[in-house]
Amino acid sequence: MEFAQERSEDWWEVEALLDLCFAPGREALSSYRLREGVAPLALLCLVAREDGILAGAIRVWPVRVAGRDAALIGPVAIHPTRQGEGLGGVLIREVISRAEAIGWTRMMLVGDAPYYGRFGFTRLDGVEMPPPTNPDRVLGIGDWAGITGKVERADGTA
């Protein structure tokens, strides 16, 4: 398995994988409103390929909470034929490692606490994703001490 930073020429192939892995209308999710019109954090967007075939991808986007920068992880997608092999965990660990290496002290995502807890993510009490996100699924890792409020786009709009 080869892991590399997502390149512009990977974009549509990754989009096709996301369409395959997620329900129709995925762009209607609240996290997409935070991403719209905002460039992803390219150094943290990764693809996993085996023999040139896309097996998985992870993207990361800048957001702000209470005027502080944070990295919003997701989506994470693994091709259905490769699910259950631990590839998602490898991508998440790699993103966390790379993010910390370049100075991102706060990362967050929307997901299942039992799954993401094994990577160190915990519930972010008082951090509010746009509705209709379930607050129990708003998870973070890193320096969140004293940070509460609404998650906003990196350009400061809700």
Predicted confidence at residue 100, as pLDDT, reads 95
Residue 74 sits at the vertex; the CA angle it makes with 69 and 76, to the nearest 5 degrees, is 150
- Mean pLDDT to the nearest integer, 125-149: 94
What is the structure's pLDDT at 28? 58
In this prediction, residue 32 carries a pLDDT of: 67
| pTM across the whole model | 0.92
The helix or strand, by DSSP H or E, that contains position 32, with its residue range, turns out to be: helix 30-35
Q: How far is CA 87 from the centre of its chain?
A: 15
For 143-149, which contacts have Cβ atoms below 8 Å and span 24 or more sequence positions?
Answer: 143/105, 143/106, 144/106, 147/65, 147/66, 147/68, 147/106, 148/65, 148/66, 149/65, 149/66
The answer to whether residue 30 scores a pLDDT higher than 90 is no
Domain segments of the chain as ranges: 2-153
Q: What is the per-residue pLDDT across 42-89, written as a single tens digit (0 to 9) for each?
A: 999 999 999 999 999 999 999 999 999 999 998 999 999 999 999 999
Higher local confidence (pLDDT), 28 or 7:
7
Q: Which of 55, 30, 56, 61 is nearest to 43 (CA)?
A: 61
Mean pLDDT of 125-134: 91
Q: Is the pLDDT of residue 36 over 90?
A: no
Which amino acid belongs to residue 127? V
Average pLDDT rounded to a whole number, residues 11-29: 81
Mean pLDDT of the residues in the chain: 92
Does the pLDDT value for residue 125 go beyond 70? yes
Determine the pLDDT at residue 158: 55
3-class DSSP assignment, residue 86? coil
CATH of span 2-153: 3.40.630.30
Average pLDDT of 139-144?
A: 97
Tell me whether residue 68 is exposed, middle or buried, using C-beta atoms within 10 angstroms of its C-beta: 0 to 12, 13 to 18, 19 or more.
middle
If phi > 0 it is left, if psi is from -120 to 50 it is alpha, else beta; for residue 16 that is alpha
Q: What whole-number distance in Å separates Cα of residue 114 and Cα of residue 79?
A: 21
